[in-house]
A and B are shown apart, each in its own frame.
Chain A
Amino acid sequence: MTEVQSERAYLKQSHIGTAQLKGIFKKRTPGKDGYRYYKNVGLGFKTPREAIEGTYIDKKCPFTGDVSIRGRILQGVVKSTKMNRTIIIRRDYLHFIKKYQRYEKRHKNIAVHLSPAFRCKEGDTVIVGQCRPLSKTVRFNVLKVIPAGSKAVKGFSSY
Protein backbone atom coordinates (compact mmCIF):
# COMPACT_ATOMS: atom_id res chain seq x y z
CA MET A 1 0.00 0.00 0.00
CA THR A 2 1.07 3.60 -0.35
CA GLU A 3 3.23 5.07 2.37
CA VAL A 4 1.37 6.86 5.15
CA GLN A 5 3.61 9.95 5.31
CA SER A 6 3.40 10.97 1.68
CA GLU A 7 3.14 14.75 2.13
CA ARG A 8 5.73 17.38 3.00
CA ALA A 9 4.14 17.92 6.40
CA TYR A 10 3.84 15.21 9.03
CA LEU A 11 0.41 13.59 8.78
CA LYS A 12 -1.19 12.62 12.03
CA GLN A 13 -4.60 12.32 13.59
CA SER A 14 -5.20 15.55 15.44
CA HIS A 15 -6.77 13.85 18.44
CA ILE A 16 -3.72 11.72 19.15
CA GLY A 17 -0.45 13.08 20.51
CA THR A 18 2.67 11.52 19.08
CA ALA A 19 4.35 11.25 22.46
CA GLN A 20 3.21 9.10 25.31
CA LEU A 21 0.90 11.29 27.35
CA LYS A 22 0.71 9.94 30.85
CA GLY A 23 -2.60 8.84 32.24
CA ILE A 24 -4.78 9.77 29.29
CA PHE A 25 -7.05 7.05 27.95
CA LYS A 26 -6.75 6.41 24.24
CA LYS A 27 -8.01 3.71 21.95
CA ARG A 28 -5.19 1.26 21.44
CA THR A 29 -4.62 -0.32 18.05
CA PRO A 30 -4.42 -4.08 18.47
CA GLY A 31 -0.88 -5.32 18.12
CA LYS A 32 0.68 -1.91 17.47
CA ASP A 33 2.31 0.51 19.87
CA GLY A 34 0.63 3.60 18.49
CA TYR A 35 -2.81 4.87 19.19
CA ARG A 36 -5.51 5.29 16.61
CA TYR A 37 -8.53 7.50 16.95
CA TYR A 38 -11.74 6.18 15.46
CA LYS A 39 -15.35 6.81 16.15
CA ASN A 40 -18.81 5.42 15.59
CA VAL A 41 -20.66 7.68 13.17
CA GLY A 42 -24.04 6.64 14.52
CA LEU A 43 -27.26 6.00 12.57
CA GLY A 44 -26.55 2.29 12.60
CA PHE A 45 -23.48 2.41 10.35
CA LYS A 46 -20.76 -0.02 11.26
CA THR A 47 -17.19 1.31 11.43
CA PRO A 48 -15.20 -0.70 8.86
CA ARG A 49 -12.35 -2.86 10.14
CA GLU A 50 -9.92 -1.10 7.83
CA ALA A 51 -10.65 2.19 9.59
CA ILE A 52 -9.78 0.77 13.01
CA GLU A 53 -6.78 -1.31 11.99
CA GLY A 54 -5.45 0.72 9.10
CA THR A 55 -2.67 3.27 9.17
CA TYR A 56 -3.99 5.84 6.74
CA ILE A 57 -4.46 9.44 7.84
CA ASP A 58 -7.51 11.17 6.40
CA LYS A 59 -8.95 14.16 8.20
CA LYS A 60 -12.10 13.96 6.07
CA CYS A 61 -12.82 10.32 6.85
CA PRO A 62 -16.06 10.01 8.85
CA PHE A 63 -14.57 7.28 11.08
CA THR A 64 -11.01 8.48 11.75
CA GLY A 65 -11.17 12.15 10.91
CA ASP A 66 -12.76 15.39 11.95
CA VAL A 67 -16.15 15.28 10.21
CA SER A 68 -19.55 14.50 11.64
CA ILE A 69 -22.41 12.98 9.69
CA ARG A 70 -25.65 14.89 10.05
CA GLY A 71 -28.53 15.80 7.82
CA ARG A 72 -29.40 13.70 4.82
CA ILE A 73 -28.46 10.12 4.02
CA LEU A 74 -28.56 9.39 0.30
CA GLN A 75 -27.83 6.50 -2.00
CA GLY A 76 -26.33 6.45 -5.45
CA VAL A 77 -24.36 4.53 -8.05
CA VAL A 78 -20.65 5.19 -8.41
CA LYS A 79 -19.98 6.87 -11.72
CA SER A 80 -16.27 7.75 -11.55
CA THR A 81 -13.40 7.02 -9.18
CA LYS A 82 -10.66 8.96 -10.93
CA MET A 83 -10.19 11.59 -8.24
CA ASN A 84 -7.92 11.36 -5.26
CA ARG A 85 -10.00 10.11 -2.27
CA THR A 86 -13.26 11.33 -3.80
CA ILE A 87 -15.79 9.86 -6.21
CA ILE A 88 -18.74 10.99 -8.28
CA ILE A 89 -22.00 9.23 -7.71
CA ARG A 90 -25.08 9.39 -9.88
CA ARG A 91 -28.54 9.59 -8.39
CA ASP A 92 -31.40 8.79 -10.72
CA TYR A 93 -34.95 9.87 -10.02
CA LEU A 94 -38.29 10.39 -11.75
CA HIS A 95 -39.86 13.79 -12.09
CA PHE A 96 -43.65 14.08 -12.56
CA ILE A 97 -45.05 16.38 -15.23
CA LYS A 98 -48.50 17.42 -14.09
CA LYS A 99 -49.90 18.36 -17.51
CA TYR A 100 -49.21 15.01 -19.07
CA GLN A 101 -49.57 12.95 -15.93
CA ARG A 102 -46.34 11.19 -16.75
CA TYR A 103 -42.84 10.87 -15.42
CA GLU A 104 -39.48 11.75 -16.93
CA LYS A 105 -36.05 10.46 -16.01
CA ARG A 106 -33.65 12.85 -14.40
CA HIS A 107 -30.31 12.44 -12.70
CA LYS A 108 -27.89 14.41 -10.57
CA ASN A 109 -24.18 13.87 -10.03
CA ILE A 110 -22.79 14.36 -6.56
CA ALA A 111 -19.15 14.58 -5.56
CA VAL A 112 -18.58 12.49 -2.48
CA HIS A 113 -15.54 11.96 -0.29
CA LEU A 114 -14.33 8.37 -0.21
CA SER A 115 -12.34 7.33 2.84
CA PRO A 116 -9.34 5.02 2.32
CA ALA A 117 -11.22 2.55 4.54
CA PHE A 118 -13.39 1.73 1.53
CA ARG A 119 -12.59 0.35 -1.85
CA CYS A 120 -15.15 0.82 -4.61
CA LYS A 121 -15.42 0.44 -8.35
CA GLU A 122 -17.63 2.09 -10.91
CA GLY A 123 -21.11 0.63 -10.75
CA ASP A 124 -21.15 -0.06 -7.02
CA THR A 125 -24.00 1.29 -4.98
CA VAL A 126 -22.95 3.57 -2.19
CA ILE A 127 -24.69 5.07 0.82
CA VAL A 128 -23.54 8.56 1.66
CA GLY A 129 -24.21 10.88 4.55
CA GLN A 130 -24.24 14.65 4.60
CA CYS A 131 -21.45 16.45 6.37
CA ARG A 132 -20.02 19.95 6.40
CA PRO A 133 -18.51 21.27 3.14
CA LEU A 134 -15.21 19.46 2.58
CA SER A 135 -14.33 21.23 -0.65
CA LYS A 136 -15.95 23.36 -3.32
CA THR A 137 -18.40 20.65 -4.37
CA VAL A 138 -18.08 17.90 -1.74
CA ARG A 139 -20.66 17.86 1.05
CA PHE A 140 -21.16 14.13 1.46
CA ASN A 141 -19.11 11.27 2.79
CA VAL A 142 -19.29 7.58 1.91
CA LEU A 143 -20.60 5.51 4.80
CA LYS A 144 -21.14 2.14 3.16
CA VAL A 145 -20.30 0.46 -0.13
CA ILE A 146 -22.62 -2.18 -1.59
CA PRO A 147 -20.68 -3.97 -4.35
CA ALA A 148 -22.36 -4.30 -7.73
CA GLY A 149 -24.09 -7.58 -8.37
CA SER A 150 -24.78 -8.49 -4.74
CA LYS A 151 -28.50 -7.80 -5.20
CA ALA A 152 -30.82 -8.15 -8.24
CA VAL A 153 -29.72 -5.32 -10.51
CA LYS A 154 -32.42 -3.24 -12.10
CA GLY A 155 -31.90 -1.35 -15.35
CA PHE A 156 -32.84 2.02 -13.93
CA SER A 157 -32.81 2.38 -10.19
CA SER A 158 -35.09 5.08 -8.93
CA TYR A 159 -35.12 6.31 -5.39
Chain B
Amino acid sequence: MGIGRDSLHKRRATGGRQKKWRKKRKHEMGRIPAGTKISSNVCVRRVRVRGGNYKFRALRLDSGNWSWPSEAVARKTRVLDVTYNASNNELVRTQTLVKSAIVQIDATPFRHWYESHYGVKIGVKKVKGQKQEEVVDDTKRSKHLTRKLAARQADRKLDPLLDEQFVTGRLYACISSRPGQCGRCDGYILEGKELEFYMKKMQKKKSK
Protein backbone atom coordinates (compact mmCIF):
# COMPACT_ATOMS: atom_id res chain seq x y z
CA MET B 1 0.00 0.00 0.00
CA GLY B 2 1.71 3.16 -1.15
CA ILE B 3 -0.75 5.73 0.12
CA GLY B 4 -1.02 5.76 3.91
CA ARG B 5 -3.28 7.64 6.30
CA ASP B 6 -1.04 7.32 9.37
CA SER B 7 -0.02 10.28 11.51
CA LEU B 8 3.47 8.94 12.28
CA HIS B 9 4.95 10.85 9.36
CA LYS B 10 3.63 14.12 10.76
CA ARG B 11 5.43 16.29 13.27
CA ARG B 12 4.24 16.46 16.85
CA ALA B 13 2.32 19.46 18.17
CA THR B 14 5.58 20.72 19.69
CA GLY B 15 7.24 20.65 16.27
CA GLY B 16 9.43 17.64 16.87
CA ARG B 17 9.82 14.84 14.33
CA GLN B 18 8.59 11.35 15.12
CA LYS B 19 10.85 8.40 14.46
CA LYS B 20 9.39 5.60 12.43
CA TRP B 21 8.93 2.73 14.90
CA ARG B 22 6.59 0.41 13.03
CA LYS B 23 5.62 -0.48 9.49
CA LYS B 24 2.54 0.87 7.82
CA ARG B 25 -0.58 -0.91 8.97
CA LYS B 26 -3.40 -2.11 6.73
CA HIS B 27 -6.00 -0.13 8.69
CA GLU B 28 -4.10 3.03 7.80
CA MET B 29 -4.16 2.43 4.08
CA GLY B 30 -5.38 4.88 1.52
CA ARG B 31 -6.42 4.21 -2.05
CA ILE B 32 -5.93 5.98 -5.35
CA PRO B 33 -8.54 8.71 -5.94
CA ALA B 34 -11.35 7.92 -8.36
CA GLY B 35 -11.19 10.99 -10.58
CA THR B 36 -14.69 10.40 -11.96
CA LYS B 37 -15.12 11.69 -15.50
CA ILE B 38 -18.20 12.46 -17.57
CA SER B 39 -18.79 9.76 -20.15
CA SER B 40 -21.73 7.77 -21.51
CA ASN B 41 -19.53 4.71 -21.09
CA VAL B 42 -20.58 4.31 -17.42
CA CYS B 43 -18.06 2.44 -15.31
CA VAL B 44 -18.49 1.79 -11.56
CA ARG B 45 -16.16 -0.58 -9.76
CA ARG B 46 -16.95 -2.29 -6.51
CA VAL B 47 -14.21 -2.16 -3.85
CA ARG B 48 -14.21 -4.33 -0.73
CA VAL B 49 -13.24 -2.19 2.26
CA ARG B 50 -12.61 -2.62 5.94
CA GLY B 51 -15.22 -4.64 7.75
CA GLY B 52 -16.32 -6.47 4.61
CA ASN B 53 -18.29 -3.49 3.35
CA TYR B 54 -18.26 -2.20 -0.19
CA LYS B 55 -17.60 1.15 -1.72
CA PHE B 56 -18.63 1.89 -5.27
CA ARG B 57 -15.89 3.71 -7.10
CA ALA B 58 -17.39 5.53 -10.07
CA LEU B 59 -14.78 5.96 -12.75
CA ARG B 60 -17.08 7.27 -15.48
CA LEU B 61 -20.58 8.60 -15.02
CA ASP B 62 -23.06 10.40 -17.16
CA SER B 63 -26.19 11.02 -15.12
CA GLY B 64 -27.49 11.38 -11.61
CA ASN B 65 -30.50 12.17 -9.48
CA TRP B 66 -30.80 15.94 -9.13
CA SER B 67 -33.21 17.72 -6.84
CA TRP B 68 -34.86 21.11 -7.19
CA PRO B 69 -34.97 22.29 -3.55
CA SER B 70 -37.63 24.98 -3.69
CA GLU B 71 -40.04 22.78 -5.66
CA ALA B 72 -39.08 19.61 -3.75
CA VAL B 73 -38.75 17.47 -6.89
CA ALA B 74 -35.96 15.22 -8.01
CA ARG B 75 -35.29 13.89 -11.46
CA LYS B 76 -32.68 11.74 -13.11
CA THR B 77 -30.75 13.83 -15.63
CA ARG B 78 -27.58 13.79 -17.66
CA VAL B 79 -24.56 15.71 -16.47
CA LEU B 80 -23.31 17.89 -19.29
CA ASP B 81 -20.17 19.53 -18.03
CA VAL B 82 -18.20 20.72 -14.99
CA THR B 83 -18.02 24.49 -14.73
CA TYR B 84 -16.52 25.35 -11.34
CA ASN B 85 -14.61 23.77 -8.53
CA ALA B 86 -13.78 25.72 -5.39
CA SER B 87 -10.79 23.54 -4.48
CA ASN B 88 -8.93 23.05 -7.72
CA ASN B 89 -9.14 24.52 -11.21
CA GLU B 90 -7.40 21.46 -12.56
CA LEU B 91 -10.52 19.43 -11.77
CA VAL B 92 -12.57 21.76 -13.94
CA ARG B 93 -10.14 21.49 -16.84
CA THR B 94 -10.17 17.69 -16.66
CA GLN B 95 -13.97 17.67 -16.10
CA THR B 96 -13.73 15.59 -12.93
CA LEU B 97 -16.89 14.94 -10.91
CA VAL B 98 -16.37 15.45 -7.20
CA LYS B 99 -18.54 16.50 -4.30
CA SER B 100 -19.42 20.21 -4.32
CA ALA B 101 -18.32 20.74 -7.90
CA ILE B 102 -20.64 22.99 -9.89
CA VAL B 103 -21.91 21.25 -13.00
CA GLN B 104 -24.42 21.85 -15.76
CA ILE B 105 -27.25 19.39 -16.07
CA ASP B 106 -29.89 18.75 -18.68
CA ALA B 107 -33.02 20.77 -17.91
CA THR B 108 -35.64 18.83 -19.91
CA PRO B 109 -37.07 16.53 -17.15
CA PHE B 110 -37.53 19.51 -14.87
CA ARG B 111 -39.15 21.51 -17.60
CA HIS B 112 -41.59 18.65 -18.30
CA TRP B 113 -42.41 18.35 -14.61
CA TYR B 114 -43.01 22.09 -14.30
CA GLU B 115 -45.34 22.11 -17.30
CA SER B 116 -47.40 19.21 -16.01
CA HIS B 117 -47.46 20.50 -12.43
CA TYR B 118 -48.26 24.15 -13.11
CA GLY B 119 -49.52 24.05 -16.67
CA VAL B 120 -47.13 26.79 -17.73
CA LYS B 121 -44.32 26.56 -20.25
CA ILE B 122 -40.98 27.86 -19.06
CA GLY B 123 -37.76 28.50 -20.85
CA VAL B 124 -39.39 29.69 -24.02
CA LYS B 125 -37.12 31.93 -26.04
CA LYS B 126 -38.11 35.53 -25.59
CA VAL B 127 -39.22 37.28 -28.74
CA LYS B 128 -39.50 41.05 -28.54
CA GLY B 129 -42.90 42.07 -27.28
CA GLN B 130 -44.10 38.51 -26.66
CA LYS B 131 -44.85 37.20 -23.18
CA GLN B 132 -42.19 34.94 -21.74
CA GLU B 133 -44.37 32.20 -20.32
CA GLU B 134 -47.18 30.61 -22.23
CA VAL B 135 -50.00 28.61 -20.80
CA VAL B 136 -50.13 25.07 -22.12
CA ASP B 137 -53.15 24.17 -24.23
CA ASP B 138 -55.80 22.98 -21.76
CA THR B 139 -58.73 22.00 -23.92
CA LYS B 140 -58.32 18.31 -23.10
CA ARG B 141 -58.06 18.75 -19.35
CA SER B 142 -60.68 17.67 -16.87
CA LYS B 143 -62.32 20.36 -14.74
CA HIS B 144 -60.79 18.87 -11.59
CA LEU B 145 -57.30 19.11 -13.06
CA THR B 146 -57.83 22.67 -14.26
CA ARG B 147 -58.95 23.74 -10.80
CA LYS B 148 -55.96 21.99 -9.21
CA LEU B 149 -53.55 23.79 -11.52
CA ALA B 150 -55.21 27.13 -10.90
CA ALA B 151 -54.81 26.63 -7.15
CA ARG B 152 -51.10 25.93 -7.54
CA GLN B 153 -50.56 29.20 -9.41
CA ALA B 154 -50.87 31.09 -6.13
CA ASP B 155 -47.60 29.73 -4.74
CA ARG B 156 -45.74 29.72 -7.99
CA LYS B 157 -42.57 31.78 -8.26
CA LEU B 158 -39.83 31.27 -10.78
CA ASP B 159 -36.48 32.89 -10.16
CA PRO B 160 -35.52 34.89 -13.29
CA LEU B 161 -31.99 33.49 -13.15
CA LEU B 162 -33.41 29.96 -13.30
CA ASP B 163 -35.72 30.92 -16.16
CA GLU B 164 -32.72 32.04 -18.23
CA GLN B 165 -31.09 28.70 -17.62
CA PHE B 166 -34.21 26.85 -18.77
CA VAL B 167 -33.99 28.73 -22.07
CA THR B 168 -30.53 27.32 -22.75
CA GLY B 169 -31.64 23.91 -21.50
CA ARG B 170 -28.84 23.70 -18.96
CA LEU B 171 -29.19 24.20 -15.23
CA TYR B 172 -26.39 24.87 -12.78
CA ALA B 173 -26.28 22.30 -10.03
CA CYS B 174 -24.01 21.37 -7.16
CA ILE B 175 -22.91 17.77 -6.60
CA SER B 176 -23.66 16.69 -3.05
CA SER B 177 -22.84 12.99 -3.23
CA ARG B 178 -19.34 11.52 -3.37
CA PRO B 179 -18.95 9.69 -6.68
CA GLY B 180 -15.80 7.86 -5.60
CA GLN B 181 -17.48 6.49 -2.49
CA CYS B 182 -21.08 5.72 -3.45
CA GLY B 183 -20.76 5.52 -7.21
CA ARG B 184 -23.43 8.13 -7.81
CA CYS B 185 -23.43 11.70 -8.96
CA ASP B 186 -26.42 13.31 -7.22
CA GLY B 187 -27.00 16.85 -6.10
CA TYR B 188 -29.20 19.89 -6.06
CA ILE B 189 -29.98 22.69 -8.48
CA LEU B 190 -28.45 25.99 -7.43
CA GLU B 191 -30.89 28.69 -6.46
CA GLY B 192 -31.01 32.10 -4.87
CA LYS B 193 -27.95 33.56 -3.17
CA GLU B 194 -25.86 30.47 -3.77
CA LEU B 195 -26.56 30.62 -7.50
CA GLU B 196 -25.62 34.31 -7.66
CA PHE B 197 -22.43 33.61 -5.74
CA TYR B 198 -21.28 30.90 -8.11
CA MET B 199 -22.30 32.76 -11.26
CA LYS B 200 -20.13 35.67 -10.14
CA LYS B 201 -17.22 33.31 -9.52
CA MET B 202 -17.59 31.69 -12.93
CA GLN B 203 -17.78 35.04 -14.70
CA LYS B 204 -14.67 36.21 -12.91
CA LYS B 205 -12.83 33.19 -14.21
CA LYS B 206 -14.10 33.67 -17.76
CA SER B 207 -13.09 37.31 -17.85
CA LYS B 208 -9.53 36.54 -16.70
| Chain A contact residues, CB within 8 Å of chain B | 5, 7-10, 12, 17-22, 111, 136-137
A18 pairs with B194, CB closer than 8 A: yes
- The number of residues on chain B lying at the interface, defined by a beta carbon within 8 Å of a beta carbon of chain A, is 17
B86 pairs with A17, CB closer than 8 A: no
Complex Cα gap A113–B69 (Å): 33
A-B contact sample (18 more), CB < 8 A, given A5-B197, A22-B70, A137-B13 = A8-B86, A8-B87, A9-B86, A9-B100, A10-B193, A10-B194, A10-B197, A10-B198, A12-B194, A17-B69, A18-B69, A18-B191, A18-B194, A19-B70, A19-B192, A21-B69, A21-B70, A21-B72
Complex Cα gap A137–B14 (Å): 10
What residues of chain B lie closer than 8 Å to A12, measured between beta carbons?
194
In the complex, which residue of chain A has the Cβ closest to the Cβ of B191?
A: A19
> Which 4 pairs from chain A and chain B are nearest by CB?
A9-B86, A19-B70, A8-B86, A19-B191
B10 pairs with A18, CB closer than 8 A: no
A7 pairs with B10, CB closer than 8 A: no
B86 pairs with A22, CB closer than 8 A: no
A136 pairs with B194, CB closer than 8 A: no
In the complex, which residue of chain B has the Cβ closest to the Cβ of A34?
A: B193
B70 pairs with A8, CB closer than 8 A: no
B138 at the interface (CB under 8 A from A): no
Complex Cα gap A143–B193 (Å): 31
What residues of chain A lie closer than 8 Å to B13, measured between beta carbons?
111, 136-137
What residues of chain B lie closer than 8 Å to A17, measured between beta carbons?
69
Complex Cα gap A19–B174 (Å): 14
Residue among A5, A10, A111 with the highest chain B CB neighbour number at 10 A: A10
B148 at the interface (CB under 8 A from A): no
What residues of chain B lie closer than 8 Å to A8, measured between beta carbons?
86-87, 201
What residues of chain B lie closer than 8 Å to A22, measured between beta carbons?
70, 72, 155
Interface code B74-106, partner A: CB below 8 Å = 1, 0 otherwise?
000000000000110000000000001000000
What residues of chain A lie closer than 8 Å to B86, measured between beta carbons?
7-9
Complex Cα gap A21–B188 (Å): 13
What residues of chain A lie closer than 8 Å to B191, measured between beta carbons?
18-19
